[in-house]
Structure 1
Amino acid sequence: MDIRKVNEDFAVTGQIAPVQVAEIAGAGFKSIVCNRPDTEDGAVPHDAVEEAAREAGLEFRFLPVVSGAITEENVRDMAAILEDLPRPVLAYCRSGARCLNLYGLVQEMKG
């Protein structure tokens, strides 16, 4: 698992598995956001990760975003999620790039 820290409050990574959630909690993260649709090839169903997150005492949100097709609604929804969740937050998708792009768009929107 390659966790890339953006700042004190936010980091991204590629696809995670339920067995990795304890390590994520141990690293100090308080929340996990899944930006990968369950229908994407190779995706781990988000509900399995969500269950592990809740068992580890972490908050979890599912905001599926289609790769290469981030919408204004996705950006608004992610902004609201980030306002609501305890930090630091770890967001994941296939590689982490989509989460990073989405976060950048949230920052631009807040401008």
Structure 2
Amino acid sequence: MWPFRRRGKPRIRKIDDRFSATGQLCPEDLPAVAGAGFRVLVCVRPDGEERGQPDFATIAAAAARLGLTARHIPVSGQPSAGQIAAFRCILAEAGGPVLGWCRSGMRVRAFYALCRQQPAAGRA
């Protein structure tokens, strides 16, 4: 379905000890994701961006059945200050590595880098 998968498995790229990124997840990917040690998932892809894309609610429900927490911060274009703050909050509250996803993994990697570069409100 998406060119960013190999043999039915998501291609997960470790960014650092706290965060990894991948392309579009499907419900059938989640047992492998849980088995890899992830407990928190963050989708930055808006629903309906591409025909045939699983919607976030479907993936979140499948994740919950496996004990995973799924969060949705749909980003189109430049992320807002509120989206950056929400992402930072998710990272701060996560008790372990976080897996982020979008269509290809590029947007979520750029979003993570942006969140790490920009100073948080109140910091110089």
Larger Rg: 2
Q: Tell me if both proteins adopt one fold, taking TM over 0.5 as the criterion.
A: yes
Alignment of 1:1-111 (within 5 A): 1-42=10-51, 43-66=53-76, 68-110=77-119
Q: Distance in 1 between matches of 2:40 and 2:89?
A: 14
For 2:101 and 2:19, how far apart are their aligned partners in 1? 11
Q: Could you tell me the percent identity over the aligned residues? A: 35
Shift of 1:30: 1.2
Deviation track 1:52-75 (CA, whole Å, cap 9, x = no partner) reads: 111111111111111x32222221
| CA deviation profile, 1:77-104 (whole Å, cap 9, x unmatched) | 1111111222211000001111111100
Gaps of 5+ in 1: none
Deviations along 1:40-61, one digit per CA (max 9) or x if unpaired, are: 1143100111011111111111
The range that moved more, 21-30 or 42-51, is: 42-51
Higher helix share: 1
Q: CA deviation at 1:110?
A: 4.1
Give the whole-Å Cα distance in 1 for the aligned partners of 2:110 and 2:90: 16
TM-score (norm 1): 0.91
Query: Between Structure 1 and Structure 2, how many residues are aligned?
Result: 110
For residue 8 of structure 1, report the CA deviation from its aligned partner: 1.4
